[in-house]
Structure 1
């Protein structure tokens, strides 16, 4: 009888210990999941071999944009891009889209990186290194996060600006915006902008690359607005390709033509 009780107690203890082990492993697995989007990753190893800092004078890299689920990359020659999907257990899949078609002296890294995007089905992160893998085989490629520092020009874009000129419409500026001038507030770290169109509040995403600037789709409140000022404002935002700041004046530019001018509030 005593032996039966002892055996039963041991079985319960082992069962509880086993549960504890599995719970710990589960927590560890969950903790290993790390955000990989919204960062720039520098290619440092390809198929087990180290990759030079620059290939054909360019840094090989990978970026994953969580907003539109698109990736951009370079093996040191052409731009590579397409869509990607993330799922449970660190699963990842790439779908290659269009790329540029330049011929470069060293195409081996680019070709190898293209093959990685075709084959990879999962990723891991350890000690700040992102690995793209196929099943449980050795990593196909390894990347190191690049801490990007915003330029002084990009930092100067932050804050709130008020429109005082817009190109195009035949109606005078004060006629377009008789009661309230449009505003825009930039948050370059979050890659977002918001403001008021003179009628509705709005928000949008931004993409900045040096002096280049592009706005994403605009979401607005739904008040009815008089006149055409709001529609002119949003249509002009869609055309912006770059920007320039002088003192407290912001120029938003289409090609090489200033189409919007703001002053810092």
Structure 2
């Protein structure tokens, strides 16, 4: 039997068929540039302080102590400036999906309650994340709801300037007496010496720290005359610095309270931006 001849044209045709077969069996996505998924925006494991929340073009500045941290397990823990809250957060590329969570129910001043309500409505659903250095912006699909946050390091108990921001009584937080805001502060140095201002008079004392308890020593103050609100604040702070207090430190927020539940909340002095 005569064998069929293999011509150059036959070889070319076979090569063409093999190439077509290869194209037909190639799986989608084998192209290095196909279906590329952007890496997740690195928002987890970072302490974020809320700067502001904008809803429908109206910006509300966040109170001191309002913050959130998104853990790698998908849980978010934060503070609205008064109450603590939690939520589930899924991160996919530059998209965050925030599910409704839980919150404590401590009584808060009206302005803090207002921000809290605004924050919980904004920090929910689908949000687009944009990271620029230490600043994070979260934007809702409508583009009209925007949360601005910045990362800050934790503040140690010793050596930090703590600004007094609220008064505590049991499960209730109250604003400072009107006219006394922005002056009361203190520092506990590494040797346990305490110095600061009670809202009017400067003061000094000592602190012996054991676990979560601080035993304050004898307190001395200057003798300036104070207005009514300043005197009211000074009286409340004196109760804490004049005896034994329990403290709770959460990143950049500090509370000190006596055995009967009276005390105050303070936040670390803001980090200076370079």
TM-score by length of 2: 0.42
Pair member with larger Rg: 2
| Larger helix proportion of the pair | 1
